């Protein structure tokens, strides 16, 4: 991350009920700048999943914080792949819903 981006992320303040708060980790929800940075970061984070899906001619799609994929992998292999991906950043947590059909 560039130095100016780090300063913007680490120096976000807000006021609520006459009290001032400083954001200490991450960006403010709803901020256009935070949304752009999150999309840039997630594009890098999800590369392993994208490459895997492309290799097996499967679907991968993400909208904000929802991911949709198709696969012929077993449930255990899906969870293993997701676990390997999430290890890269402990701040990103994934909850899964696995269905047998669309």
What are 31-63's pLDDT values in tens digits? 777 788 888 888 988 898 899 999 999 999 998
DSSP for the chain, written as a single string: --HHHHHHHHTEEEEETTEEEEE-SS--TT-HHHHHHHHHHHHHHTHHHHHHHHHTT--EEEETTEEEE---S-HHHHHHHHHHHHTT-TT--------S--
Please state, for a pLDDT cut of 90, what percent of the chain lies above it: 16
- The residues spanned by each domain of the chain are 41-102
Residue 1 pLDDT greater than 60, yes or no: no
**pLDDT, position 102:** 65
pLDDT in tens, 15-28: 778 888 777 666 66
């Amino acid at each position: 991350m560039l130095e100016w981006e780090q300063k913007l992320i680490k120096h976000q303040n807000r006021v609520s009920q006459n009290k001032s708060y400083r954001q200490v980790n991450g960006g403010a929800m709803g901020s256009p700048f935070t949304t752009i940075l999150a999309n840039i970061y997630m594009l890098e984070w999800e590369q392993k999943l994208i490459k895997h899906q492309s290799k097996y001619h499967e679907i991968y799609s993400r909208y904000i914080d929802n991911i949709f994929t198709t696969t012929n992998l077993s449930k255990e292999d899906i969870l293993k792949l997701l676990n390997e991906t999430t290890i890269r950043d402990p701040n990103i947590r994934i909850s899964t819903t696995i269905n047998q059909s669309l």
